[in-house]
Chain A
Amino acid sequence: MKAHRPLRNALSVLLHSPDTRAPAYGPHVRDVLDLKRTMAIVLLALLPCIVFAFAHYGLSRLLPLFVVSYGVGLAVEWLFSLIRGTEINEGYLVTGALIPLIVPITIPLWQLALAVVFALVFAKEAFGGTGHNIFNPALVCRAFLFFAYPAQMTGAVWEPPSEHGTANSNQSAPELVYAVSSATAASMPQASTSDAVSAATPLALAKSAPSGRTRSLLDEAGYTTSAMLEGRIPGSPGERNKLAILLGALLLLLTGIASARIMLAGVVGLLLTATLATALSANPTGLFAVSAWQHLLMGSFLFGIVFMATDPVTHPETNAGKWVFGFLCGAFTIMIRLYNPAYVEGTMLAILLMNAFAPALDRAALAVHIRQRRARRGT
């Protein structure tokens, strides 16, 4: 197969509509919604987050991440389309935009490229390509980085110089504990300009706070509720501005592209589990002392539940399955955050775990459905 043909076809179909028509037998008309339009709406929903990220970090820092993500990703897709003799699918349009938003801004580009290749080959193409994967490729990419290059993924997060000229973090908190040894933390790359700082994320700060000091520590660092909503906190580029995420969620729900059940169940699961955990702990310290609503605003849960957990390929198809899936995503996020001493953020691992169980949830829901059908028909 000529090497350029998949690229030419993909470009031609991207710029114009495909010249495909219904066959001579069967329904002769189709709705105007196709997978490209679905992806376009998700990208539109991501636009507030992307705009905020570019506004905050600047073009020179964030654009290389997008270029590497899309460039390497499309190269892998092209290679596999050649091997398989199929067309290039548009599945990577959304994944390619998600990946730069969930990795730290200081990630070395070669690590990002490696992670994209790993995620696409092992978590998507090995299963058959778009529509066949079990795990969310963007999350697998981040998981690969997390486990293979933990130094770059954990610890203090680089912040660009703030416009007001004052440092927006408190680096002198003595009780900061990281998932890596302090020696490794000391060897992390420092910002080149003198005003740039490295800061602990609200979750990291809260997790290591001693009893009774969580709220005050957060306030001292400037991590108020409004700051977390507007994204004036350290974190990965996409998951900081909760208002932008909520705008995106609104668009996805309005157009009916993402599952409202999963989003709602996730939020409910998170809030319930957090409240329960705090209520059950005798002497709440660290993250136990954070209220359930703050858990929603801290970290990457909101981004994860709106854009990652609602990936239609990796979540259950049955309605009952979706409720359980969403609920357990929220519940496991809290459990990993609170009960696991090593990991500060649990969203990625919780969603990946539930992705693995999505088929099982569907099977259970279908077994109940089949039994109900038999009862109704008296067989």
Chain B
Amino acid sequence: MFELHSLARQLPETIALTTNGRTHAISKGFDIRLTGKAAPGSRFEAAAPLRVGATAGVIPGAKMRPLVRVGERVRRGDPVLAYRDGFGVFVVAPATGEVVAVVRGADRTSACVEIARDDSRVEEFTELNLAALDREELAQQLRRSGLWPLLRERPVGGTPLSGPPNAIFINVMDTEPLAADPGVLLRDRQEDFKQGLAILRRLSDGPLYLCIPRSTIWAYFDELAEVEIHRFGGPHPSGLPGTHIDRIAPLAVGGRYWTIRAQDVARIGECARTHAFPSRRWIALVGPNARRPGYYEIHEGSPLRLLIDDIDSDSRILQGTVLSAFASDIDDYLATTVHTVTIIGEGRGQRPLLGWARPNFNHPSASRASFGWLRRRPAYPIDARLHGESRAIVNIGVWDKVMPLDVHVSSLVRAIQAGDLEEALALGLLDLIEEDVALCTYVDPCKLDVGAVIRRGLDQYVREQGSE
């Protein structure tokens, strides 16, 4: 059905398959090549968990309210967390059992409901029906099904909590470092993917855009008539929805887009087919500090301990990729929205002599100043060290080299820091979320968290919208 990128490169004539959309080449950006990649052919199975956690991860602007108390029994598919802003969006229990703990999320931590799983062979679950023909009813069913947090809304980047969008962008690419390849995650799930697409088609009047890698032969996708297929090539962030939106249909004032990953579309399709919350899925365990990187089939909401047998004391577990993830404990649970678990070193106590003066041949550097370009490698190890201290902004032009969008990031950051929201909006605040500027944070010599500044600006925007 589909082939890997390396094979496609040997057959250049197959690259020009028919696409009803366009091919876009992104020239600005940087691919961080790290060790610990998951081999596409690897298939591991994680053990069945004793306890699961119902958690949607860290989503901007999502405040959740628990619906159950310790000791209650829940079935797979029962709502256990509700979005406080209403709209009927729930996070559901991934397995049947008894609630043992309710962890309220605060600020940047996620709310989680821990459930002790029933061991019975015959599992009870709540039926979910996604067959409604009416758009409103279908949307309501999907919100109740626990799969709604898989959608993200642009601008601002939170969960959609308002009306239908102007367009939906489906991302079949992931160019973040060591990210799980959507092609591998979609193995043998084409029917579910088609079904999921059909459901999304009914949720919006606007176009559906499918964004796929330029060099891949996705013959399957040429059969889909109701979507516009666009190809993207180039370094990261060519695989981010923000870049896709900027190139295909820039967001107009007052417009709204939804973005979703292709593997999550397949999960919606599976839910429609089985009438139940899908309980098992494939994720990737990656990273320089992962003992056995690869693709794992794992129960939804498993504790990370099942995935990671043993771990260095000096390691950091990330739910997500190194550029956009939240750090987790080994006893935390896998969030619904996470497809990649990365393990990197903390880098504690490593203070080489005159570290700033040494040529760094062992680090993926986007700058020529570290002289790493003299001895390039295919992949590098990495840890969580800042390699510097936080300083005032000194703009040596590195941000512009990794920002393919039509946004002047340094001026935007200054406008947000000065509190000038109008200027920030004019400069393109609403085109960005944290992941779009993650590379700017990576290359910044002054170690500023650009994503945090953007989030502050977006929070201010949301506050002012709400107060109008």
Contact = CB atoms under 8 A, between A and B. Distances in A.
Nearest to B425: A370
A312 B397 CA distance: 9
A4 interface: no
A34 B388 contact: yes
A378 B370 CA distance: 43
Interface stretch (B38-46, B66-74, B435-443): B435-443
Contacts of B445: 31, 33-35, 37-38
B365 A32 contact: yes
B388 A29 contact: no
12 contacts: A18-B386, A19-B348, A21-B384, A26-B449, A28-B384, A29-B383, A34-B446, A38-B369, A40-B356, A130-B391, A130-B392, A376-B406
Contact of A32 (B327, B360, B428): B360
Given A22-B386, A38-B445, A379-B253, 20 more contacts: A17-B352, A17-B356, A18-B389, A25-B58, A28-B344, A30-B444, A31-B363, A31-B365, A32-B363, A32-B370, A37-B356, A37-B357, A37-B369, A38-B394, A131-B446, A313-B394, A366-B411, A366-B427, A369-B408, A378-B252
Interface string A146-162: 00000000000000000
Contacts of A257: 369, 396
Contacts of A32: 360, 363, 365, 367, 370, 372, 387
Contact of A128 (B325, B392, B396, B449): B392
B155 to A, nearest CB: 13
B61 to A, nearest CB: 14
A131 B441 contact: no
Interface residues of B, number: 75
B318 interface: yes
Q: Which 9 A-B pairs have the closest CB atoms?
A: A34-B388, A131-B392, A17-B355, A16-B351, A36-B356, A24-B327, A20-B386, A255-B369, A33-B367
A256 B367 CA distance: 7
B419 interface: no
Contacts of A108: none
Contacts of A35: 388, 391, 394, 445-446
Contact of B386 (A30, A130, A317, A319): A30
Contact of B388 (A18, A28, A128, A312): A18
Given A16-B351, A37-B445, A27 B323 contact: yes
A29 B442 contact: yes
Contacts of B344: 28-29
Interface of B: 32, 58, 108, 250-253, 316, 318, 322-327, 344, 346-357, 360, 363-370, 372, 382-398, 400, 406, 408, 410-411, 426-428, 434, 438, 441-447, 449, 451-452
Nearest to B372: A32
Interface string A220-259: 0000000000000000000000000000000000111101
A362 interface: yes
Contact of B394 (A18, A23, A130): A130
Contacts, number: 204
Interface of A: 13, 15-38, 40-41, 87, 89, 128-132, 254-257, 259, 312-313, 317-319, 362, 366, 369-370, 372-374, 376-379
A13 B327 CA distance: 27
B352 to A, nearest CB: 6
Contacts of A318: 408, 411
A242 to B, nearest CB: 24
Most chain B CB within a 10 A radius of its CB, from A26, A374, A379? A26
A370 B388 contact: no
A362 B388 contact: no
B387 A34 contact: yes
B388 A21 contact: no
A317 B443 contact: no
B327 A362 contact: no
A319 B357 CA distance: 29
A26 B447 contact: no
B388 A30 contact: yes
B253 A28 contact: no
A33 B369 contact: yes
A28 B318 contact: yes
Contacts of A259: 397
Most chain A CB within a 10 A radius of its CB, from B352, B356, B445? B356
B346 A317 contact: no
A131 B382 CA distance: 29
B427 A27 contact: no
Nearest to A19: B351
A373 B323 contact: no
B252 A19 contact: no
A30 B384 CA distance: 7
